[in-house]
């Protein structure tokens, strides 16, 4: 079929996309919109539907409901049965395992998509070299993929994906096979490459730091739906739900209940705030890592016990539980190394607490003396 122009001019957009495997819905109500030259990350835990959504955009799956448009043309529409196959969508793909052919040279791997299109040899030779040079592998054309490092193999996969100069490139966890140090280096390199090449990209990952580093917008997914689609700054500043905050590891999520002019940690006698005009209800809050200062257990601090601690570059990130409300786990950044079982005192800046839901909350809260 011939793709028909759709209403939107975004490079990629989906409207009300659903995908069922048999009777099981795997994706529900997916609406994304990605502008030219931008990168959208699909971020979420295993099984939330990231790869399925990427496959729908690629044309490897057809939606059960809804429609998908690329560069203003409808490429799939469940209502009309319209569907363009992958080779008509002008896109490149990079997978987790790179999917390089071991029996071919690096150059052969990269030129393959062009050869398949019947492009003249002189043309595909020059385009292959140009693609390899763009990923700084111009000198490696005659090597076998097995003679390259993991990071170099990954760049070959990128060269192959861009050789036909697609309008869109799809990445599915392209760095997850690399060790941590290489992965951290490659994230920056990949971000630079995407910008330099002016690519429009969708990037699937379950790693929040990768998504926040690389993408202009991040769709946080959970159980087949998009919980929030926003820029990294907005996600960090205003996570829409406790689940988003938790998944981005912005701090500790706690449930509070209001009684006797105080917000208590739910099910405990431990009060976080005094507030004279709260309402009789329970709410969830995010207590950001940056809102907590750790120190000695002194009057006015909340006593906590260190559960575990990990070095993070700018200090030790400790997970602690509150004494008197042990189910509440908070994240604390400390200069000094904190040992499991150690007791510490926490001071929480109430102005940094983020309140979820439609609860009525006033700014008249006061810090409490937890003596």
Ligand X SMILES: Nc1ncnc2c1ncn2[C@@H]1O[C@H](COP(=O)(O)OP(=O)(O)OP(=O)(O)O)[C@@H](O)[C@H]1O
Q: Which residues bind ligand X (CB under 6 A)?
A: 21, 26, 44, 46-52, 206
HSE-CB of 271 using CA atoms within 13 angstroms: 17
**Residue 26 near which of ligand X, Mg ion, none (CB within 5-8 Å, type-dependent):** ligand X
User: Is the Cβ of residue 52 or residue 301 nearer to ligand X in the bound state?
Assistant: 52
How far apart are alpha carbons 168 and 172 in whole angstroms? 13
CB closer to ligand X, 96 vs 289: 96
By beta-carbon proximity to ligand X, the closer residue of 26 and 34 is 26
Nearer to Mg ion, 171 or 258 (CB): 171
**Which one, 44 or 113, has the nearer CB to ligand X?**
44
Among ligand X, Mg ion, none, what does residue 3 contact (CB within 5–8 Å per kind)?
A: none
Q: Please report how close the Cβ of residue 98 comes to ligand X at its closest, in angstroms.
A: 16
- State the minimum distance, in angstroms, from the CB of residue 205 to ligand X: 8
Nearest approach in angstroms of CB 24 to ligand X is 7
What's the closest the beta carbon of residue 179 comes to ligand X, in angstroms? 19
Least CB distance from residue 255 to Mg ion, whole Å? 31
Structure tokens at 192: 């630079």
Q: What is the distance between the alpha carbons of residues 55 and 315, in angstroms, rounded to a whole number? A: 40
Which residue lies nearer to Mg ion by CB, 51 or 200? 51
Contact of residue 351 among ligand X, Mg ion, none (CB under 5-8 Å per partner type)? none
Do 216 and 208 touch, CB atoms closer than 8 A?
A: no
Strand partners, 217: 40
Residue with the shortest CB distance to Mg ion: 51
Task: Select from Mg ion, ligand X, none the partner in contact with residue 21, using the beta carbon and a kind-dependent cut-off of 5 to 8 Å.
Answer: ligand X
- Distance of closest approach, residue 228 Cβ to ligand X, in angstroms: 16
Task: Supply the minimum distance, in Å, between the C-beta of residue 99 and Mg ion.
Answer: 14
> Between residues 51 and 74, which has the closer beta carbon with respect to Mg ion?
51
Beta bridge partners of 348: 292
The item of ligand X, Mg ion, none sharing an interface with residue 101, based on CB under 5 to 8 Å by kind, is: none
- List contacts with Mg ion (CB under 5 A): 51
**Residue whose CB is less far from Mg ion, 86 or 108:** 86
Partners of residue 29 on adjacent β-strands: none
Q: What is the dihedral of CA 149, 152, 158, 161, to 10 degrees?
A: -70
Query: Which partner in ligand X, Mg ion, none is near 46 (CB below 5 to 8 A by kind)?
Result: ligand X
CA 308 to chain centre: 25
**Cβ of residue 96: shortest distance to ligand X, in angstroms?**
8
Residue identified by tokens 């009057």 is 299
CB of 49 to ligand X, least distance (A): 4
Of residues 3, 44, 67, the one with CA closest to residue 248: 44
Sign for the pseudo-dihedral over CA of 247, 248, 249, 252: negative
- Contact at 8 Å (CB) between 25 and 92? no
b vs e for 35-73, b when ≥16 Cβ sit within 10 Å of the residue's Cβ? eeebbbbbbbeeebbbbbbbbbbbbebbbbbbbbbbbeb
Collapsing DSSP states into helix, strand and coil, what is residue 152? helix
Query: Which C-beta is closer to Mg ion: that of 91 or that of 302?
Result: 91
Could you tell which of Mg ion, ligand X, none binds residue 288, using a CB distance below 5 to 8 A set by kind? none
Q: Which two tokens stand for residue 178?
A: 């690399």
Which 8-state DSSP code applies to residue 137? -
Give strand pairing partners of 21.
24
39 binds, among ligand X, Mg ion, none (CB under 5 to 8 A by kind): none
**Of these partners, Mg ion, ligand X, none, which one is at the site of residue 206 (CB under 5 to 8 Å by kind)?**
ligand X
CA dist 142 → 50, 116, 130, 138, 159 (Å): 35, 20, 15, 10, 14
């Amino acid at each position: 079929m011939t793709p028909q122009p759709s209403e939107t001019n975004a490079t990629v957009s989906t409207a009300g996309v659903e995908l069922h495997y048999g009777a099981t819905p795997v994706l529900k109500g997916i609406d994304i919109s990605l502008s030219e030259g931008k990168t959208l990350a699909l971020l979420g835990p295993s099984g939330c539907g990231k790869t399925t959504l990427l496959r729908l955009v690629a044309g490897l799956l057809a939606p059960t409901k809804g429609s998908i448009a690329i560069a203003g043309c409808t490429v799939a529409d469940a209502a009309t049965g319209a569907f363009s196959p992958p080779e008509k969508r002008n896109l490149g793909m990079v997978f987790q395992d790179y999917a390089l052919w071991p029996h071919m040279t690096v150059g052969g791997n990269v030129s393959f998509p062009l050869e398949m299109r019947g492009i003249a040899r002189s043309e595909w030779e020059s385009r292959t070299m140009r693609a390899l040079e763009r990923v700084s592998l111009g000198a490696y054309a005659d090597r076998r993929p097995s003679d390259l490092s993991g990071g170099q193999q990954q760049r070959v996969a990128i060269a192959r994906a861009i050789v036909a100069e697609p309008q869109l490139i799809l990445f599915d966890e392209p760095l997850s096979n690399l060790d941590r140090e290489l992965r951290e280096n490659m994230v920056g390199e990949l971000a630079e490459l995407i910008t330099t090449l002016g690519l429009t990209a969708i990037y699937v990952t379950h790693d929040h730091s990768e998504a926040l580093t690389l993408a202009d917008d991040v769709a946080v997914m959970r159980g087949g739906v998009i919980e929030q689609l926003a820029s990294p700054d907005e996600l960090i500043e205003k996570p829409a739900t406790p689940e988003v905050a938790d998944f981005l590891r912005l701090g500790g999520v706690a449930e509070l209940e209001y009684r006797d002019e105080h917000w208590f940690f739910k099910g405990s006698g431990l009060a976080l705030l005094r507030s004279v005009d709260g309402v009789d209800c329970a709410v969830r809050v995010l207590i950001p890592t940056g809102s907590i200062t750790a120190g000695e257990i002194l009057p006015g601090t909340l006593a906590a016990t260190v559960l575990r601690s990990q070095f993070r570059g700018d200090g030790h990130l400790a997970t602690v539980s509150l004494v008197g409300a042990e189910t509440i786990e908070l994240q604390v950044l400390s200069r000094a190394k904190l040992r499991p079982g150690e007791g510490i005192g926490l001071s929480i800046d109430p102005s940094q607490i983020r309140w979820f839901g439609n609860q009525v909350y006033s700014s008249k809260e006061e810090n409490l003396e937890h003596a």
